[in-house]
Amino acid sequence: MHQLNIVLVEPQIPQNTGNIARTCAVTGARLHLIRPMGFTVTDKHLKRAGLDYWDKLDITYYDSFAEFSARNPGAYFFFTTKGRKIHSDAVYPNNAYLIFGREDQGLPEDLLFAHPEECVRIPMRNELRSLNLSNSVAIAVYEALRQWDYPDLTRTGSLRAYRWEDTNCEEV
């Protein structure tokens, strides 16, 4: 069984964290939140963005990155606009940790400098600052899951009022 871990270092915007929580819930990824955060976990914007998925989450809180790293050895991938490798060129092993920084500052440069081979970048136009955090997490999660052939995820959907029959739809 594959396990994917999403790590948010000092997230500041509750709606982003709520959206990321929902992504984690629907994909089975574990969510790790490192304090301080720019909101409380009871924030109405956080809860609204995550909808009714909060009870489907495996979530752990930490007081620092040092505490997180001491409790979670493994393969770390630091997502940053400063990365020299493209995120889709990385190979994500089972139990990988995809690590993201604050919306306003990203990850600390001393952390990135200490792990140059683990820094990855989602390609974007050079003259623009960055993607939205929750969008970046979704891109990263689905790249890792694609590499793993989407384990434990439903691959086909169904219509409510119709049945798929080969290439034609027929009404139920």
Q: How far apart are CA 11 and CA 2, in angstroms?
A: 26
Residue 13, marked binder: no
Check whether 122 is labelled as a binding-site residue: yes
CA distances (Å), 50 to each of 31, 41, 54, 144, 164, in order? 13, 11, 7, 22, 31
83 is in an annotated binding site: no
DSSP string, 42-71: T-HHHHHHHTT-GGG--EEEESSHHHHHHH
CA distance 43 to 60: 17
Instruction: Please report, in range form, the residues annotated as the binding site.
Output: 101, 122, 130
Residues making up the annotated binding site for S-adenosyl-L-methionine are 101, 122, 130
